[in-house]
Amino acid sequence: MALEFMKPIVSLLPEIRHPQRTPPLREKLYWTVAGLVIFFVMYHIYPVGRYPIEDQFGFIQMITASKIGSLITAGIGPIVLASIFLQLFIGSKIIDMDLTDPEQKKIFQGTQKLLAVILSFFESAIYVYTNAVPVMGAGIYAGNTFPLFGNLFFTQMIVTFQLAMGSIILLYLDEIVAKYGIGSGISLFIAAGVSLSVVQGTFSVLIPNAMAQLAEGGANSVPMALLTLLPLVFTLVVFIACSYAEGMRVEVPLVFERVRGVGGRYPIKFLYVSNIPVILAAALMMNFQLIARAIGSSTFYIGGTNIVNFLSVVDSSGRLVDGLLYLMTPSFPNPVLTGYQTYFDVILHSSTQFTHIPELVHVVAYIVSMVVMCVIFGRFWIETTGMSAKDIAEQLKGSGLQVPGFRRDPRIIEKILEKYIPMITILGSIFVGLLAAFADLTGALGTGTGILLTVGILHNMYETMKREQMFELYPALKNLVG
């Protein structure tokens, strides 16, 4: 199936024009900072008609550059989801398009933008109508507030529209940053959200708590103050581990078929699929949370057992507190707020309310679930997005490259790559799954998933800035590499 029929529709969508000249690095920095400022402004603005609520999806906000209840409640979720859908359809040949053709690539990008707009309204409606973002006069807040103009449905529609427009603005900010700034706007917003979370957590929680412990005096004041700062220590540990893993790679030597002695190396990074597995695993966990909210108050008995309670139990605030879905999600007390003594006491000695499963089992189940999901998603991703050994072998052959000392046959290259890519995919997926789970369990600021993403994003942005600076110093080099 091709997307040619979408051409008249996508041509109606607004589009950011390409710059008439390549902006210098300084100008790109200005555009990047401007996009970042607008993102932070929307981050702190709340839609009219929204009822104030406590944050219940902290871990998912890190990967979607969102803040539940603000204008960017859905964040970049619709943009990423639209991209994943179409990339998977292209990779699995459900949609047959040649993205090297500028015309077809333009149709693909327009379709992706249209799908993101549709998903912005869809996801915003889910947040509003499942009460994840309650509105005035709805649900348990009905007795405390009144809907706008006395109409609940009108209020829900208004809030949904505002949340959708927030995501659509981010969509066009991403396009501005991509064309006039540095790197990707989506990546920039994710890194900004995680960085803000780390800074806020450090200065609004950790440092005041540590100072309070020191002010109390006594023999235990210094050890307790240091214990309060443990989340910051765990954050640094995860950051260093991510940075180290980013530099690990296996390099396969290559030479050009027609130019003897000229070649290079094909790097297979330890994090070959990057953070994609943990992003998809975290997104799946968010869906678990939403499903739990939707069915939490329902009843369905089989043999005297409430199957709904077996799957999920939510408290009055909508938090997941028991059931099978609970075991697969990072629904732990926040050690930053409760303190590590209370946190470890809960983990080691408490159990769930309905099924009476020890919290220690919850810890193990969550780690295993995260690792298994990351491995499954990692394998699935490389097979459907042109990153498998066979696909890479065809790309290298098409570029006129071969492994020195072997015949000019893509099957030979594929066989060599098969020694590395499948195993590195599994090991890298296990690593990011364990690191994300470790950060979530230890209370690292920004969550493990957020830190993983931020390290990769900052590393790529640094490489981009180095390349841009090199092109400014040596303009002829840009023409040489295209």
**CATH number reported for the structural domain that contains residue 126 in this entry:** 1.10.3370.10
435 falls within a domain: no
Residue 55 pLDDT class (50, 70, 90 cuts): low
What are the C-alpha distances in Å from 415 to residues 186, 406, 407?
36, 11, 12
Quick one: what percent of the chain has pLDDT higher than 90?
A: 8
Contacts of 85 (CB under 8 A, 6+ apart): 115
State in Å, rounded, how far the first CA of the chain is from the last one. 32
Of the ranges 62-71, 159-168, 383-392, 445-454, the best mean pLDDT one: 159-168
CA-CA distance, 32 to 30, in Å (whole number)? 5
How many structural domains compose the chain?
A: 1
> What Å distances lie between residue 164 and 68, 280, 294, CA to CA?
13, 22, 21
> Is the separation of the CB atoms in 313 and 322 below 8 Å?
yes
Q: Report the pLDDT value the prediction gives residue 143, as an integer from 0 to 100.
A: 59
**Is 73 within a domain?**
yes
- Least confident interval from 49-63, 106-120, 209-223, 260-274: 49-63
Q: Is residue 372 part of a domain?
A: no
Per-residue pLDDT at 305 exceeds 60: no
Beta strands across the sheet bearing 263-269: 263-269, 249-256, 401-402
**Residue closest to 40 by CA, chosen among 200, 182, 175, 275:** 200
| pLDDT score, position 310 | 65
Residues 66 and 75 sit within 8 Å (Cβ to Cβ): yes
| Domain region containing 169 | 1-14+23-182
Task: Indicate whether 475 belongs to any domain.
Answer: no
Q: Could you tell me if residue 41 is inside a domain?
A: yes
- The SS3 of residue 216 is helix
Q: For residue range 343-373, what is the model confidence (pLDDT) as tens digits?
A: 888 888 888 777 788 888 888 988 998 899 8
74: in domain: yes
What the block records as the tokens of 79 is: 């943009």
pLDDT bin (cut points 50, 70, 90) of residue 132 is confident
305 within domain boundaries: no
**76, 65 Cβ separation under 8 angstroms:** yes
DSSP, res 75: T
